[in-house]
Structure 1
Amino acid sequence: MRGKRAIGGGRRQLRHVMFQAALVASHHNPILKTFADRLRAAGKPHKVVITAVARKLVTIANALCKSRLKWANQAA
């Protein structure tokens, strides 16, 4: 495939919510901010960075659900 890719699968409303959550998390969560900054420094486009943060948020949410733990903000 050539050109830019787009995400079209899944539930549209959930994608929008995850994008907004990732946008906020990439600026305010210390761990995800360093992750996003590292991707930006590597020259990744803005939407690629936010999508990667959203995927990481989903992974964190799944791990919390599986282990039945509550979110505990950890210092980087």
Structure 2
Amino acid sequence: RQAAAFLGLVPILKESGTSVKLRSHLSKAGAPSIRRKLYMAAVVSTRCNPDVSEQFARLKARGKPTLSALGAAMRKLVHIAFGVLKSQSEYRPQGT
């Protein structure tokens, strides 16, 4: 989670006084160049990676906007990459 937060991929909710009905958006705290690369990787992963495409389809079916679902896909890619680095093993999708 800290890696995703470092890259600015965690949702934040802006509140002001009594207005709490605003949509959440990505915090954008990290480097924008990395976020741009993750965005393109997420777009491709929604078609090619079974784990990411399943999550993307599930979020879209629940009525989430496309960019919100892509933000979740970007975050999932960071979690996958961190898991691969931490375990020092090859990535194997859950479906296989």
TM-score, structure 2 as length reference: 0.69
Bigger radius of gyration among the two: 2
Q: Distance in 2 between matches of 1:4 and 1:59?
A: 20
Please say if residues 51 and 93 of structure 2, whose CA atoms lie closer than 8 Å, have aligned partners that are also in contact. no
Pairing 1:49-64 to 2, within 5 Å after superposition: 49-64=69-84
- Greater share of residues in strand: 2
Matched, 1:66 2:86: yes
Superposed CA RMSD = 1.8
Question: 5+ unaligned residues in a row in structure 1: which ranges?
Answer: none
State the identity %. Answer: 30
How far did 1:67 drift?
0.6
Q: Deviations over 1:20-53 (max 9, x none)?
A: 1011101111221111000000000111100001
Question: 5+ unaligned residues in a row in structure 2: which ranges?
Answer: 1-14, 16-21
